[in-house]
Structure 1
Amino acid sequence: MDFPVPENEVERLAAVQAYQVYGTGPESGFDDLTDLAASIANVPIAIVNIVGDTKIWLKSRHGVPPDLEEVPRGGVCCSHAVCRSDLLVVSDTHADDRFRAMPFIATEPFLRFYAGMPLIDSGGRALGTLCIMDITPRELTFEAAEGIRRIARQTTAQLELRLKIAQLVRSQEELAAEKQRSDSLLLNILPRNIAAELTEKGSVEPRHHPSATILFTDFVDFTKSAAELSPRELVDDLDMYFSEFDNIVARHGLEKLKTMGDSYMCAGGLMQGRKDHAVRSCLAALEMRRFVAASDRRLAAIGQRPWHLRVGLHSGSMMSGVVGRKKFSYDVWGDAVNIASRMESTDEADHVNISESTFQHVKSYFDCTPRGSLEVRSKGKMTMYFLDRLKPEYSADAAGVEANERLRSTLAGTSAPWSLH
């Protein structure tokens, strides 16, 4: 190493890196200071240097060619000035053994005078120097020396202000990113308008819904299937199904409420403008059934146990709201929820079971098979129907799962805009 280093060199270099100024382009705030230093000392050259590990970056320069941006640390006087706590003045560089052989001194432009003040930050680290130079030997007056000291302090203050602004910008960006993550997380567990109300007011007003549709799903013999799979296989399978159910629910404008073990719960009609909630819920149910059936065929082809889905729907009045303080949960309550659960539990594998109420909402658009009156726990006998498919005149596919333009146009006057696909 052909240059001296301060005792706190490791800490100093860490500070230089933290300030993130080494290698940056010109800035008017620093250029004004070098111009002022040259004027006060009446010299042709003034520079703000940032001293790195082995090189020095000319952050601001007065009287220096614009293409000269970086010099070796061992080849300039600033490598000595940065080791000091006060101004280094060299009246004649040719008479000083430390400097006479250095480039720019022994060769063009044959600098003969140097004065450099270390830029010491509030942590006692010399980030670089403010230096002035001349091609003739000279003495620095007391007034000029004091002026250079003051400009150096202003340069350090400028560096610290620059760092604080950068830290503030980063903090604001981090806060914005954190808010975005928080908002995204909130939207994953709450409907958009509910999340907005919670964010704005800190609470959510409970709502009564005169008419909405609840959809429940579960898998037949789930306990037996779970016993035959490893924990990873079980979680991966449920994640596959429920992730696709999330996509289906979103496409049909429904609201996911929660999952409970192998059961998935969602609802239509909880948000404004969803008067066609029963139709949308039935379309989602048919699409869920189709997805699971397709997955079952793939599993059967490779000799794995298939998953058989049951789906139950009921339409009626209910209440909704948010419960919890640290872990929010958006949920619904009412007899309609209990009936929807009974529709699912009395369903048969690979079918969609709907109540009389839901049937009355959708009978004009779907083919259904009457099941008659079946005994329901705590409810007595209830009329039910298997939801088979869309009527051909409303179907865009042979299986009767996807709505065609005629159905969308028919319902457009009574619902929010369609966005099924």
Structure 2
Amino acid sequence: MNLTTPANEPGRLEALKNYAILDTLPEIGFDEIAELAGQICDCPAALVSFVDASRQWIKAKYGLLPADLTECPREISICSAAICNNDILYVPDLEKDQRFSANPLVTGEFQLRFYCGVPLITQEGHALGTLCIIDFKPRELTFEQREALRRLSRQTMVHLELRRQLLQRNEMLLELGLARDRAVAEQAVSDRLLLNILPRSIADELKATERVQPRFFDSATVIFIDFSGFTRLVETMEPASVIDQLDQHFTKFDDIMARHRLEKLKTIGDAYLAVGGVPEPNRSHAIDTALCALEILEHTAKLNRQREKLHLPAWQVRIGINTGPVIAGVVGKHKFTYDIWGNTVNIAERVEAAGVPGRISIAESTWPHIQARFETEARGAVEVKHKGLVNMHYLNRIRPEYSSDSDGMTPNERFWKQG
């Protein structure tokens, strides 16, 4: 048979695709429309079906039709002719209509005799399919029945449109959910990067207010570390090896600082700066810093024993510690840096510079905070650049009664109970 197609066939097929109706499961709304059409017109069968490029696919059916009937080839589909009409196709006797008298649906097994179908037309004018009633004998419909069928076809399109909008909404909600998940994941990455730069409380303040209020801390402990003879040491090393080894040392220092509640501030070349009691004030910052310094000294000593066996030069650290007031805040707009300022910081750097490789030097201001728990050794007054004479001590170890090891590096329970 000759296949007739609507003038707007490409657009019609695209519109049908957008409704995502083909090959979907039965839905009670369409089933009820087919049943109502059959009952109003007093016909034994009714269909809601859609016509794609090659077939008529049945979404809902009512009445005396085979249970396994789901589609019909388009070339013999009477509904395919109905969608070209843009109006009701009413055929009281298919055998007497020359358009359909030779159709296999009429002459073959189904023996159709009556057909009345109304196109399901979108607002854009695309006929997607039909609401049709059929009979196996000729019949007439009243004007009222045909009008009722028209109204039912419009309700079918309303139902179909609502279904499409619901699908679009669900798709939009899914896309919004995915976008939200991506945003959450990106925010988590951003937060992790920010926390690599700033303390958590400072990062939270920056996100909340887009700025950080500078703060004065009346007591904090600053630790300054660098490697003695670094320039001479690196002259014999490949640049990549220098960076790799510095990274290994500073990564270990980061872990040690975190365990002892110190905040790493920055590295400058081979120098490393951190502070205790900032940005979260506490009363044990000097003690925490002393424990941190001992652990760093133990770590580097262990590494140097291994390097000595390999006949490699040692990485000797100098450590300087000072306690006093500081001002802390964030500088920069595009590349944030959390930093501290004040005479306490300057003295810590000078104490470190005036120190001895492999030892921990502490300023006189730190000594009262730690002397009850740690063994120290007075150095006396030491000339410090731009500061004059500064009284210093060496920090040697934890006192034996407060240490859980013979070297005085690890505190015991009494250490923390000591008033």
Q: Normalising by structure 2, what TM-score? A: 0.70
Separation (CA, whole Å) in 2 of partners of 1:392 and 1:316: 28
Q: 2:325 touches 2:342 (CA, 8 Å); kept in 1?
A: yes
Decide whether aligned partners of structure 1 residues 229 and 35 sit closer, same or farther in structure 2, where only a CA change above 3 A counts.
farther
Residues 165-176 of structure 1: matches in 2 within 5 Å? Answer: 165-176=173-184
Amino acid at match of 2:170: R
The answer to whether structure 1 residue 283 and structure 2 residue 291 are counterparts is: yes
Structure 1 residue 244, shift from structure 2 partner: 1.8
Which residue of structure 2 lines up, in the alignment, with residue 204 of structure 1?
A: 212
Q: Which residue of 2 aligns with 1:246?
A: 254
Whether the 8 Å contact between 1:212 and 1:317 is mirrored in structure 2 is: yes
Unaligned runs of 5+ in 2: 1-8, 39-44, 92-99
- In the other structure, the counterpart of 2:407 is 399
Give the match for residue 387 of structure 1: 395
Q: Show the counterpart of 1:152.
A: 160
Structure 1 residue identity aligned to 2:296: M
For 1:387 and 1:98, the matched residues in 2 are separated by 106
Matched, 1:256 2:264: yes
Deviation (angstroms), 1:212: 0.9
Aligned ranges 1:2-401 → 2 under 5 Å: 31=27, 33-35=29-31, 37-38=33-34, 41-42=37-38, 141-401=149-409
Q: Distance in 2 between matches of 1:194 and 1:370?
A: 38
Q: Which amino acid aligns with 2:345?
A: V
Inter-partner Cα distance in structure 2 for 1:85 and 1:297: 92
Structure-2 change in CA distance of 1:113 and 1:282 (3 Å): farther
Q: CA deviation at 1:132?
A: 7.2
The change in CA–CA distance for 1:44 and 1:368 in structure 2 (over 3 A counts) is: farther
Work out the CA distance in 2 between the residues paired with 1:361 and 1:214.
Answer: 13
Change (3 A) 1:149 1:401: same
* Shift in alpha-carbon separation, 1:387–1:118, aligned structure 2, 3 A: farther
CA offset digits 1:325-368 (Å, max 9, x no partner): 22221111111100000111122222211111111211111112
Q: C-alpha distance in 1, partners of 2:392/2:191? A: 41
Question: SS at the partner of 2:365?
Answer: helix
Q: Given that residues 119 and 153 in structure 2 are in contact (C-alpha distance below 8 angstroms), is that contact kept between their aligned partners in structure 1?
A: no
Q: What runs of 5+ residues in structure 1 fail to find an aligned partner?
A: 1-5, 52-56, 412-421
Q: Structure 1 stretch 272-281 or stretch 130-139: which is displaced more?
A: 130-139
Distance in 1 between the 2:103 and 2:240 partners?
A: 70
Q: How many residues align?
A: 376
Deviation at 1:184, TM superposition (A): 2.5
Q: Is the contact made by 2:220 and 2:325 (CA closer than 8 Å) also made in structure 1?
A: yes
CA contact (8 A) 2:34 2:60 kept: no
CA displacement at 1:188 relative to structure 2: 2.1
Cα 1:160–1:238 shift into 2, 3 Å? same
1:166/1:117 Cα in 2 relative to 1: closer, same or farther (>3 Å)? farther
- Determine the C-alpha separation between the residues in 1 that align with 2:370 and 2:28: 77
Kept in 1, the 8 Å contact 2:376–2:397? The answer is yes
Amino acid of the structure 2 residue aligned with 1:354: I
Deviation at 1:86, TM superposition (A): 11
* Sequence identity (%): 31
Shift of 1:274: 1.0
